[in-house]
Amino acid sequence: MQNVLAGYNLTIEKNLLNTNANIHFTTLHTCKITIRVLNQNENIKLLTNEVVNKGKHTVLFNYCCMPEGIYNIILLAETETTIDKETVIIQI
Q: What is the pLDDT of residues 49-90, one digit of tens each?
A: 999 999 999 999 999 999 999 999 999 999 888 888 999 999
Candidates 74, 67, 76; CA nearest to 89 is: 74
6-32 tens-digit pLDDT: 479 999 999 989 999 999 999 988 999
Amino acid at 79: T
**pTM tops 0.75:** yes
CA dihedral 32, 33, 34, 36 (to 10 degrees): 180
d(CA 50, CA 39): 22
Q: Assess whether pLDDT exceeds 80 at residue 5.
A: no
Kindly list the structural domains of the chain, giving each domain's residue range(s) and its CATH number in brackets, ordered by start. Answer: 2-91 (2.60.40.10)
